[in-house]
Structure 1
């Protein structure tokens, strides 16, 4: 498990922009089962992938256009039970962090695994997500 002083700034990058911190299994279940659309980013300390994922997610919800109703995040290697619960709802995809999921009325409708994030710019990640928002939000 990662120390809080390492994780806190990476969590804050999202929570300071309005993302709800899902740090318990109960919060994850409540968020996923909400009506409407819920974006969930499983955050990570990995600089090469998470360093693009966080800015990409933030870019995807800026400006005009369709957006998810609910913005949420949990942190791999820190919010252990919460991430385990989230991953139970990401089947058939294997555990991946960072990763980004879009749920609509409790159903997974779009998912970016680490290999879809790593090596891609924040702008490319944002564009992928914006296309999903246009279809599902």
Structure 2
């Protein structure tokens, strides 16, 4: 059963306020990923837990604010809330076990970098941001 929209609203806004497009349905994901065939696309599978609040969302924010290169598109789905959209997004990296929160970086439509939950939890936001900035620098134009 999905979480209450009122509960997740502030967590969603942490990303949408910095430019992420929220994908709410499988059709939204399909359209967004069709447009993601050129350049870099960052996808955050958002979640309600403390790992997301303490490391994932702040780490993404820091990486986007401080990096020399930045993804062309910022997309997000919310696990345990937007179930259809999350399942469809996960189909774009089906060989990777479901993980929430998690962060995927696509270059020209191909998955090039993935940060699962176990590489987020137990770290601080700045460490995660540094890893993301390195990936942006490696795969950016």
Residue of structure 1 in register with 2:18 after alignment: 17
Aligned to 2:101: 98
User: Structure 1 residue 36: deviation in Å?
Assistant: 1.1
Q: Equivalences for 1:1-137 in 2 at 5 Å? A: 1-33=2-34, 34=36, 35-47=38-50, 49-51=51-53, 52-137=55-140
2:67–2:133 Cα contact (<8 Å) kept: no
TM-score by length of 2: 0.93
Moved over 3 A (4+): none
| Structure 1: 5+ residue stretches without partners | none
- Number of residue pairs matched? 136
What is the alpha-carbon root mean square deviation over aligned residues? 1.0
Structure 2 residue runs of 5 or longer lacking an equivalent are none
Q: Deviations over 1:34-55 (max 9, x none)?
A: 22110000000011x1011000
